[in-house]
Chain A
Amino acid sequence: MIFSGASSQAGLEGGPERIEFMPTPRNIETAFEKVRELPNQVEFKERIADMDAERISTLLQSVEGQEELCDLLINQHDSFQQVDVNFDPEELKSHVELVGATLKDMQEYDELIRQVEGVDPEAEITVDTPEAQKKLGLFRRALGSVGGFAKKHPIVTTVLAAGLVSGSVAGVLYLSGYLSAAQAGVAAEAIHEFIEGTGIAGGGIGEMPGFNPLEGVPLGK
C-alpha cells in the first residue's frame, strides 16, 4: 500500500501524511545519516560508517546484502522510527526485495540503453539483420520517433511529465525533514493521482481528492 492514514487534505491542514518508508538507496542513506546524529550507539554507527547510497545499492542487489541491510535496519528499528515515523520493520523485508529486484532491472535496462546509443539511427534494418541488432535498432528509432511526436500526442507528454514530477519530487520530498508536510502531501497526491489516473492496477491507495494530470488533455491530434 502506498499511502495510509489521513487523507491528503488532512495532510495539508494537519500533521504529516503517512507515506511508508521505501528502502531505496537514497532513503536508507538518509536514514543512516540521521541515525548517526543521534546520541550513543557508537558500535552501530561504526557498522554503518561506510554505508553510502552506492554501497547500499550494491547490497540491495544480492540476497546476502539484503539480509545484511534488513538486519541493520530491523535490529535498530527504534532508532529508525525516531528519525522517520513511517519506518515499518514489518514491511521492510518485502520492500527491500522489491527495491533490489527493480535496481537489477534498471541496471540491465541501463546497459541496454548504452547499447542502443551505439546504434546508428539511420542504419537499415532488413530481414537479414540479426535479431538482437534489430531489436536495438528498432528501439533506437522508436525513441527518436516518440521524441519527435510528443507535441502531436499530448497524452504522451503529459504522462511522461507526470512521471517525471511525481516520481522525482515525491522521492526528494520523502524523508526530507526540512520540507513542509503540506508540500509532502502535494507530492503524495500527485503520485497517487498519476498512478490512479493512468490506470495502473492495484488497490490499497487511500481515498484522496486531488487533481487528475490527464483531465482535459486531448488524447490525440
Chain B
Amino acid sequence: MMITIHLTADEKTLFEKLPADIQEGWTVEEEKQTFQDTPDRARVRLSLLRIEDPKMLQVIEEAKSKESADDVASLILDTDLSGISERELAKLFFAIGPTTLSTIISAMLVQVKTDQDLKDLVAVTTVRNVVLSSMTHSSKVE
C-alpha cells in the first residue's frame, strides 16, 4: 500500500528533489492545516505541560537547581529521552507545537539519504499533522 506523507508546499518541493528511488512508494499529500504560533500561545502550552515520567521529572528538578544558563544548556544537551513513554512524547510534541515540528522536518528533509531516513521523517510529519488538527480552539484566540 502507498503510504501518505503530509508535507507543506515548500517541503514538497524539497521532497521532489530527492532521488526517485527514495520517493518511490510514497504519496505526498499537501499539509494544508495551518497554525500561526505566537510567543503567548507557546508559553501557555509549555506552562500547561504536565509531566508524569519519573525520569523526566528528575530532569526538571535538576534544571531547577541550575544557576546559570550554560548549566541549563548542558543539561538539555545531555538529556537522554530514550525509554520515554509514547504518552509523554505525545504531550511534549503538543507543547513544542507545529511550528517547531516544521523546523525539525525541514532540517531532516534536506538530509534524507535512505528509505529509513524517509520513514523517520514521515513519523514526525504524522505527529505534526495530528498536533495541527488538535489546535482547533487555541487557533481561534489571538
Q: Is B33 an interface residue (CB 8 A)?
A: no
* Cα–Cα, bound, A66→B40 (Å): 18
Contact status of A116 and B111, CB under 8 A, knowing A142-B122, A167-B95, A169-B60: no
- In chain A, positions 156-207 with a C-beta closer than 8 Å to chain B are 156-174, 179, 182-183, 186, 189-191, 193, 195, 198-205
Give every chain B residue within 8 A of A162 (Cβ-Cβ).
76
Question: Does A95 sit at the interface, judged by CB under 8 A?
Answer: yes
| Stretch of A33-41, A71-79, A209-217 with 4 or more beta carbons under 8 angstroms from chain B | A209-217
B29 adjacent to chain A (CB < 8 Å): no
Which of chain B's residues have a CB closer than 8 A to the CB of A193? Answer: 69
Asked whether A106 is an interface residue with its Cβ less than 8 Å from the other chain, the reply is: yes
Contact B134 A105 (CB under 8 A): yes
A183-B47 in contact (CB<8A): no
Pick the most buried of B64, B76, B77, B122: most chain A CB atoms within 10 A of its CB.
B76
Q: Is the CB–CB distance between B40 and A200 below 8 Å?
A: no
A123 at the interface (CB under 8 A from B): no
Chain B contacts for A205, CB-based, 8 A: 39
Chain A, residue nearest B40 (CB): A98
| In contact, B123 and A141 (Cβ under 8 angstroms) | yes
Asked whether, in the complex, the Cβ of B39 is within 8 Å of the Cβ of A105, the reply is no
Number of interface residues of A (CB under 8 A): 88
User: B76 is contacted by which of A158, A186, A201 (Cβ under 8 Å)?
Assistant: A158
Instruction: State whether A160 and B67 are in contact (beta carbons under 8 Å apart), knowing that A167-B49, A170-B46, A213-B77 are contacts in the complex.
Output: no
In the complex, the answer to whether B47 meets A140 with C-beta atoms within 8 Å is no
> Which residues of A lie under 8 Å from residue B40 when comparing CB positions?
1-2, 22, 95, 98, 202
- Chain B window 56-81, contacts with chain A (Cβ cutoff 8 Å), 1 for yes, 0 for no: 10011001101111101101110111
* B122–A173 touching, CB < 8 Å: no
Q: With a CB–CB cut-off of 8 A, which chain B residues contact A161? A: 59, 75-77, 79, 81
Report yes or no: A183 in contact with B64, Cβ–Cβ below 8 A.
Answer: yes
Q: Which residues of B contact A (CB under 8 A)?
A: 1, 36-49, 51, 56, 59-60, 63-64, 66-70, 72-73, 75-77, 79-84, 86-87, 89-97, 99-100, 102-104, 107-108, 111, 119-120, 122-124, 126-127, 130-131, 134-138, 140-142
Supply 21 A–B pairs (Cβ within 8 Å), ascending by A. Answer: A1-B39, A22-B40, A95-B40, A103-B48, A116-B86, A142-B122, A142-B126, A142-B127, A143-B90, A147-B81, A147-B83, A149-B120, A155-B104, A156-B104, A158-B76, A159-B96, A160-B96, A165-B63, A183-B67, A193-B69, A220-B108
